[in-house]
Structure 1
Amino acid sequence: MTNVECRAVIIDDEAWIREGLSEHIDWKKLGIVLVKVFHDGADAFAYLKEEPVDIILSDIRMPNMTGLEMLAKLRDSASESAANDFSRIKTIFLSGYNDFKFAQEALRLGAVDFLLKPSDLVDIENALLKAKHLWTSNGAIQFKQLCSTEPTEEPGSYLIKRALNYIHAHFAEEIHLTDIAKELSVTPNHLSRLFRQDIDQSFSDYLSQMRMNKACSLLVESNMKIYQIGDMLAYTNPRCFREWFQKNTGMSPVEYRKKHT
């Protein structure tokens, strides 16, 4: 895998940003080949449907199709294409809008980093290196071992499958068992029993573990500040986030980041 070419694209509606990223990032030193540059998500999506790409460096707000819409369409198209495994593409978002709703949606869609414009080239190159590291076989294995707590077997209950889909879509929000039970038209007690029966975990434990996975991911892969990561995972109080993380890992978020990066 290490001898396979790592291919990247840039997507941004501002020409000066496209040119700056193309010309000033040392792609050769990073070991990444910049294969194409696009001015909006729609053109990029058409290209990505046909051509293999490993890393996307994209703006969020663009005409015709936003970066988030493009990534969502790629994820939806993953099962339709045998030639291109869209789920393995590593995406880094750049945005001029300091809005955590964008960051939360980017996280839910599997983005590996979210940087605010203007970002230093060093920060962007570091994000690209982390994306490349995750793209390689060894990087993917190391990361999976680092923070993998989701069940390995698919649950049998259709209701639980729907419940887990809901959690995956809303884990960055403040959600409760009653919210999911209402969505599925069942009682909270019944849904709680199904969690214990099908995945041998309580709802709260599963949600906590999923958030922990994402916290580990962001600490290792992104340059986001600790309080930003906590805020994205529904821990708006930085102290509560630190205490929760310490309780579950035995180390603070800062210590975890230093140990694994």
Structure 2
Amino acid sequence: MWKIAIIDDDRQVLQGMKLAIPWEELNAEWAGEAMNGRDGLEMIRAAKPDIVITDIYMPVMNGLDMIEKLRGEKFGGRIVILSGYSDFEYARQALRLNVADYLSKPISIPTLKDVLGKAIADLAEEEERLLKQDELQQRLMLYKPFVEKEWIKAAVSGTFADMDMQGDAVPLPYHYWRQASHAVIGIDIVRDRRVGGVSLSDLNLFRFAVRNIVCEVTEERFAQFEYTELHGTHSALLVHPAPDTERGLAESQLAELGSIIIDAVGSCLKLNLQVGIGGIKQSWREIPDSTEEAFRAIDWKGRRLAPGYELFGVADSPEGKKQVHPIRPVKFYQELASAMKSSQETLAHQIVDHFAAQLSGREEAAADYLRMLAGEIWTILAYSMYDIGMVLDEIYPIDAVRLEWDRFTDAEQWAGWLKDKISGICNSRQWRGNGKHRQAVDFMIQYIHDNYAKDITLADLADKVFISRNYLSHIFKNITGDSFNTYLTRVRMEKAKELLMEHKMLVYEVAEKVGYQNVPYFSTLFKKYSGMNPTDLVKS
């Protein structure tokens, strides 16, 4: 309800205005009155009206002086002058003081109603603008972690398409990069029979669990690091060895961390990893080189760093330098995945053509390598499409696609095949979701992973992403394949399983850690999810 204050030294005018204003029709209420500018100023400060109707000629302090003081105090309400004098100089001063209207006494009720109606409409419009501005600010704050997350991914993969690479390009939390050294540890979940048989939704939970384990073991050895998921089953751990560490010792520390990661993930999740260690770089702009070296070491099994471990380092050149091969598949994979998620068919074709031109005529572009690339890309496309609610296998059955890979003879044929598939995907009727929905679900997933121990409801998240609860439930199910509650439960159970296997907590402590105060209920859910009682894991 809008609040209106009236200031006039004539009591009859005050009473007449209170009777003349159509309060209910304007959805307004009386806020206060005064008979001079000084008292009016105090009343306005206390009542904070939306609209002030004031005379000019008044004792103690006139109306214009009062208005000037209000504007100096940043009063944002609308002011209407109602005066018995039509003086040009007064009107000019009123204009300078941003007065909504200047009326002469006596005033008719229809005119008064129109003037107040216009002032209220202006206030409503201003309020809506400020509300949208505040909403935008809230959205920016909500999505800030995702902006930084994407920046890290771009720094690791080298996909700084439109980002400023000059001057103060590093976000504030990562300014320390300028004085640090950098190395990338590439991590790939081996697609064996166990991993190949799970749904993409379950595999996403595996990736979440791998991230938790990797970050936990890394923070015990390196003060500063970043972890980012790349494409498919690939992720990258960016660590920053102390600049004064001797290079040989730093490389030994990285190799030791790689073997610990393989052991920890294998023990807790029964997942097999391949890990590659990229070279140590002095400039943050060289981080993509370390990434390419790490994954090239995995692809080519170049230099095994520990017996019995799928842990590899990039081979040195004759000059003793770790060189990046001119063909950069990690960057290509990341750029292609990004283009496909936003259905940019033309851009995706250009990315393929550019990469094929790099491949053309090279020794590496033999049929075996092209088939390996096709398999990697198909997995990446499956993940990318799943992220926006598509099932790639429903468009192109994988068994039929694998037969097509056997026909590759050169890079040009490979590129033609891939572009044909890209066009088919982008023009498929199954294409669902949009960028805004994807952002909302990304936020929800990250929020669940960061706050699973708290009482999280879909209604709370709906308020945070500014989408209705029912529609958000539909979007989440459409994109992830799981209902909100199912996904939350699965994340909690996966974390509970990890905590129980550490044998450091009792069952009730684990239950509380993952958001359950009712231990029997937690035990029932855990058995339903994992097929065993939580006490079985504690005793094992």
Q: TM-score band, normalised by the shorter chain?
A: 0.3 to 0.5
Whichever of the two has the greater Rg, that structure is: 2
Structure with the bigger RCO (C-alpha within 8 Å, sep 6+) is 1
With the length of structure 1 as denominator, give the TM-score of the two structures.
0.47
With the length of structure 2 as denominator, give the TM-score of the two structures.
0.24
